Every structure is written in structure tokens, then in C-alpha cells.
Chain A
Amino acid sequence: DGGITQSPKYLFRKEGQNVTLSCEQNLNHDAMYWYRQDPGQGLRLIYYSQIVNDFQKGDIAEGYSVSREKKESFPLTVTSAQKNPTAFYLCASSKDIAEAFFGQGTRLTVV
């Protein structure tokens, strides 16, 4: 059953702590994306990757880091430099200009 899997569903972060959100896809898609969603705002692009071992900053990359060591995996680390990390994070993948598919999201809360 093909798709995108994000984990965990809920994540709690203490002040000054780094946390990593997982995103795995078995759709054989080349491109993967991380978006942040805040209430009343549209989705904003954090990072994207078009091929393995390459990734580019999106519109709000500050305080985040990513890696793309495997085609299937695109983890996102929220670092302590991100001052307002509480949000809903969505991972997506696509192939060229075909349909984009999204995971079920991770809700990150600072405690």
C-alpha cells in the first residue's frame, strides 16, 4: 500500500531541545517537501529536495534542518533556534509535475 508516513503524530518539545520529525514514502517519488501550517495561514514551505543528497531552503527555513540520504526518507529537525515551533508539520512528495501526496502530519507543541 503506497503512501507517505509521518511520525510521530504528536510531539512535545522542551525549550532548547532539538526534535526530529520523520517522513517516509514508498511512492518512488523524487521530490519531497516539508510544510508548516499555522491556524488561519496557508501552508508555508520549509525545505524541499528534488534528488538524493540535495535539498533547498524554502520560504521559512530558519531554525530547521533536513537531510536526504535516501530517496524514501526526508527527516526534518526543528532546532532550538526556531523560536516559535508550535505548529502542524506536513510532509509531501511528488514526481515531476504530477500529483502531490501528503502525509497525515505531525503536531509539534512546545512545553
Chain B
Amino acid sequence: KQEVTQIPAALSVPEGENLVLNCSFTDSAIYNLQWFRQDPGKGLTSLLLIQSSQREQTSGRLNASLDKSSGRSTLYIAASQPGDSATYLCAVKPGTYKYIFGTGTRLKVLA
């Protein structure tokens, strides 16, 4: 059974720091992995999608990597800002219809 774990559960950093969020999954048979951002009381906003054949994706200050063989993905945020404060979720797609989510990392960037 596929399980997705995100560590740490919460993280607090000063503004300007580069940081890494971790996502691990137990079964490497996935179609893709997607990172989302969720603000309090809001829906999920897609940040980056990595297909199973890809190693990384970049968008602005965000970079996500995928290592299927070790069951790991990282989301790198460069030069963090207070506006980056949110919960970050990763999800894997083990089949054509289903996503399995981690419980998220709650990030707080201090001004």
C-alpha cells in the first residue's frame, strides 16, 4: 500500500533562507508527483508537477526533484519570503485515477 510521508510537519525560518521540504513514498510505481501549496481555509494551488520520467522541475524560486528509486522528492525554496508561509503538500499518482497525499509541512517564514 502506497504511503506518503512529509517531514518535518512544521518549519519556521527567517526571511531570506533557502529551505528544503521533504516528501517520501513507499512504492516507486508512480505516474507523477505533484507539489501543492495550501493557505489557511483555502483550496490547493498547484506548484510543480514532475512526471515519472523526469528528475526535476523549476518554477521561479521553486525547484522540485524526484528520485523514484529511493522514493523521495524534495521541494527547494530559494530566498524565502513571508508570503511563502503556507502548508505544502505533496501527492503521488500511483494509477491513472488516484492521488495519495502526505499530511503536509506547515511553513512559517519570519520577517
Task: Given A97-B32, A101-B46, verify A41-B103 contact (CB < 8 Å).
Answer: yes
Bound form: Cα–Cα A103–B102 in Å: 19
Residue of B nearest to A49 (CB): B97
Please state if B103 and A100 are interface contacts (CB–CB under 8 Å). no
The minimal Cβ–Cβ distance linking A97 to chain B, given in whole angstroms, is 4
Please state if B98 and A102 are interface contacts (CB–CB under 8 Å). no
Residue of A nearest to B95 (CB): A97
Q: Beta-carbon contacts of B83-101 to A below 8 Å, as 1s and 0s?
A: 0000001010100111111
Set of chain A residues within 8 Å of B4, measured between Cβ atoms = 42
Is B34 among interface residues, defined by CB-CB distance under 8 A?
A: yes
Task: Given A33-B99, A42-B104, A105-B42, verify A99-B34 contact (CB < 8 Å).
Answer: yes
From DSSP, what is the main secondary structure of chain B's interface residues? Answer: strand
Set of chain B residues within 8 Å of A92, measured between Cβ atoms = 44, 99
**Chain B contact residues (Cβ within 8 angstroms of A): what range?**
20 to 34
Task: Given A96-B96, A99-B34, A99-B49, verify A105-B101 contact (CB < 8 Å).
Answer: no
Task: Given A90-B43, A102-B44, A103-B43, verify A97-B98 contact (CB < 8 Å).
Answer: no
Residue of B nearest to A97 (CB): B31
Set of chain B residues within 8 Å of A105, measured between Cβ atoms = 41-43
Bound form: Cα–Cα A105–B99 in Å: 17
The minimal Cβ–Cβ distance linking B46 to chain A, given in whole angstroms, is 6
Bound form: Cα–Cα A96–B93 in Å: 11
Set of chain A residues within 8 Å of B97, measured between Cβ atoms = 31, 48, 50, 56
Is B36 among interface residues, defined by CB-CB distance under 8 A?
A: yes
The minimal Cβ–Cβ distance linking A104 to chain B, given in whole angstroms, is 4
- Identify B103's interface contact among A40, A48, A97, CB under 8 A: A40
The minimal Cβ–Cβ distance linking B44 to chain A, given in whole angstroms, is 4
